[in-house]
Amino acid sequence: MKEIRLLPLSVVIVTKNEEANIEDALKSVADAQEIVVVDSFSADRTVEICRKYTDKVHQQEWQGFARQKQTAVDFAQGPWVLILDADERVTPELKEEIRDSMAQSRCNGFYLPRENYFIGEWIRHGGWWPDHTLRLFRKDRGRLEPREVHEKVVVDGAVGYLKNPLRHFTYRSISDFMERMERYSTLAAREIIRKGGRAGVSSLMLKPGATFIRMYVLQRGFLDGTRGLVLAALYSYYTFLKYAKVWEATVRKI
């Protein structure tokens, strides 16, 4: 009988109504030594599905992305932690690289490249590849930086870069993007305001255009065909919406 090699780490996932995504994510790390899920009281079958793969399913009211993920990390028992989103998948190649890197490297954390998919196709340009994100780290050396959106892990000590990608099936439709953009733009606006930022005519006019030019021209989004054009336009609008909400908050205080 072939020996099962466990992935020697704790995988942590936060969820809210993710029944369409979560099982494939869990299958991809079913051989992890530990899987920890922190669910925000899902109204669908998310919790039921998670309990097929782990008995470490906790429920916690939503605290924001960074705090919710830090709560999941705090529940983890292993010395190494991998943060995984419900729409991400760990490939066998990445697992082998994780095993080797943890055993041989003196790093306290690792950036993983993400292979991002938009409406079913891998996007290779426009800043979407390799999209390095720090997800693997020693629990006693890493923590989530407190911020409203685009949360990130801060690690004390050396960090390295892995080569095999984490697959990310994000934005399955335009409607999916628009729905999430409304929430993310609000959080991003709060973060700008928290840091003392403001928005006026120049921000509303120039920043969206700069976003489009960066993604579509400088980062060669045009090489991704129509998807590259659509993404650059959507992110341009997201930028406008974000700064419009900063402006709105300023006006309401007057």
Any domain includes 181: yes
Question: Measuring CA to CA, which residue among 110, 101, 102 is closest to residue 158?
Answer: 110
Give the span between the Cα atoms of 37 and 35, in whole angstroms.
7
Query: Could you tell me if 101 and 204 lie in one domain?
Result: no
Joined tokens for residue 229: 């054009």
Query: Could you tell me if 182 and 61 lie in one domain?
Result: no
Query: Could you tell me if 67 and 97 lie in one domain?
Result: yes
Query: Could you tell me if 39 and 103 lie in one domain?
Result: yes
Of 170, 195, 217, the residue at which a domain comes to its end is 170
Query: Could you tell me if 134 and 210 lie in one domain?
Result: no
Let me know: does 139 contact 79? Beta carbons within 8 Å.
yes
For residue 43, the surrounding DSSP H or E stretch is none
For 228, the domain range is 174-253
Please indicate, yes or no, whether the overall pTM of this predicted structure exceeds 0.85: yes
We report the CATH number of the domain holding residue 153 as 3.90.550.10
CB atoms within 10 A of CB 6: 11
Query: Could you tell me if 125 and 189 lie in one domain?
Result: no
Query: Could you tell me if 34 and 113 lie in one domain?
Result: yes
What is 135-168 written as a DSSP string? EEEETTTEEEPP-SSS--EEESS-EEE-SSPEEE
Mean pLDDT for the stretch of residues 56-62: 97
Instruction: Grade residue 254 by pLDDT with cuts at 50, 70 and 90.
Output: low
Of 170, 204, 221, the residue at which a domain comes to its end is 170
Query: Could you tell me if 163 and 178 lie in one domain?
Result: no
Of 143, 170, 197, the residue at which a domain comes to its end is 170
Any domain includes 2: no
What is 186-234 written as a DSSP string? HHHHHHHHHTT----HHHHHHHHHHHHHIIIIIT-GGGGHHHHHHHHHH
Task: Tally the domains of the chain.
Answer: 2
pLDDT surpasses 80 at 4: no
Query: Could you tell me if 78 and 147 lie in one domain?
Result: yes
Give the span between the Cα atoms of 139 and 117, in whole angstroms.
29
Bridge partners of residue 64, in order along the sequence: none
- Per-residue pLDDT, 1: 40
Contacts of 202 by beta carbon, 8 Å cutoff, 6+ apart:
none
Give the span between the Cα atoms of 93 and 85, in whole angstroms.
18
CB atoms within 10 A of CB 19: 17
Let me know: does 145 contact 152? Beta carbons within 8 Å.
yes
The SS3 of residue 88 is strand
Query: Could you tell me if 157 and 199 lie in one domain?
Result: no
Any domain includes 45: yes
CB atoms within 10 A of CB 71: 17
- Per-residue pLDDT, 6: 81
Cα dihedral sign, 172-32-64-38:
positive
Q: Residue holding tokens 């290779």?
A: 124
Radius of gyration from C-alpha coordinates of the chain = 19
Instruction: Grade residue 23 by pLDDT with cuts at 50, 70 and 90.
Output: very high
pLDDT digits (tens, 9 = 90+) for 142-187: 999 988 778 899 999 999 999 999 999 999 999 999 999 999 999 9
Mean residue pLDDT of the chain comes to 94
Could you tell me how many residues make up the chain? 254
Query: Could you tell me if 134 and 217 lie in one domain?
Result: no
pLDDT surpasses 90 at 132: yes
Angle at 219 between CA 111 and CA 82, to 5 degrees: 15
Query: Could you tell me if 110 and 191 lie in one domain?
Result: no
